[in-house]
Amino acid sequence: MKLVIRIPLVVQNLHALAGFYTDGPSMMAAYGLVSHLERDAQFEATGFGLVVEKYVSSLTTHLRASADPFHKSKQCQTLPMSGYRHADLVAALYVEVGALESDAAEDLVVRIADAVNASRFQGGHIIEWVEADSTQEMGIRFKSIQDELDLAEFILESERPLSTVYASRHLDTPLSGDALLDAFAEALLSKDNYLVCNGYAVAGEAVDSQGNNHLIADPTYTLVHGIPVHKLKKVEMAGQEAFLQNFFWSFDADAHTRNPSQFTLK
Partner 1 sequence: MIYATPQAALAAYSLTRTPRERELTFFDLGPQAFSFEGLQKLFPLDLVSDPGVEPKKLTTALLPVMALARYASSDGDLAGLLTVFRELPTSLRKVFPAESKFAAEDSKLIADLTKTAYKTLFSGDGVLALSATDADLFLRFAGDVLVASEAGSLSKGALPQQSAAALSEIKPFLESTVSALTTHDAKSAHSSAQLKAFLPHQVTPSTYLQSKAFEPLISGRSSGGVMKDSPWVISLLTINLQAPGTPVRAFFELLQEPTRADFAVPAVSLLPVIEGGGNEFNSFLLGCTRVKVSQDTSATLWLAPANNMLAATRALGERMSELVGEKIALAAKAKLQDLLGDRYAMLNPADIDAAALERGQGTQAKALLKAVNSLLKEARKGAVTAEELFTPKQLGLQLRTWVPRVGNVGSNASNCGGGYAEFAGVRGVYRFPAARQQQDRPSTQAVRRFHTLEHRLNDLLKREREKLATQPSPFERYQSGLKWLPARVQKNILDGYLRHVKARYLAVLRDIRAWLVLGEQELLALDMRKATVLQRFAAGDQLADAELQLLAKESLQLLVINDKYAAQELESLVLHSLTAEKVVSL
Residue 238, number of CB atoms within 10 A of its CB:
10
Stretch binding partner 1 (CB under 8 A), from 41-49, 145-153, 183-191, 233-241? 183-191
Task: Name which position in 67, 68, 103, 189 contacts partner 1 (CB under 8 A).
Answer: 189
Nearer to partner 1, 121 or 142 (CB): 121
DSSP-derived letter for residue 253 is H
CB of 147 to partner 1, least distance (A): 26
**Within positions 46 to 85, which residues make up the interface with partner 1, using CB under 8 A?**
52, 54-62, 74-78, 80-85
Nearer to partner 1, 100 or 196 (CB): 196
CA distance 18 to 103: 38
CA distance 235 to 125: 36
Strand partners, 228: 164
Measured between alpha carbons, how far is residue 234 from residues 152, 200, 231 in Å? 11, 36, 5
Measured between alpha carbons, how far is residue 195 from residues 134, 183, 185 in Å? 32, 12, 10
Task: Name which position in 2, 9, 13, 25 contacts partner 1 (CB under 8 A).
Answer: 25
**Within positions 150 to 169, which residues make up the interface with partner 1, using CB under 8 A?**
164
Nearer to partner 1, 147 or 218 (CB): 218
**Within positions 107 to 126, which residues make up the interface with partner 1, using CB under 8 A?**
none
The answer to the question of residue 257 lying near partner 1 (CB under 8 A) is: no
Stretch binding partner 1 (CB under 8 A), from 4-12, 17-25, 94-102, 240-248? 17-25
Nearer to partner 1, 119 or 144 (CB): 119
CA distance 146 to 148: 7
From the centroid of its chain, how far is CA 145? 22
Task: Name which position in 208, 234, 236, 257 contacts partner 1 (CB under 8 A).
Answer: 208
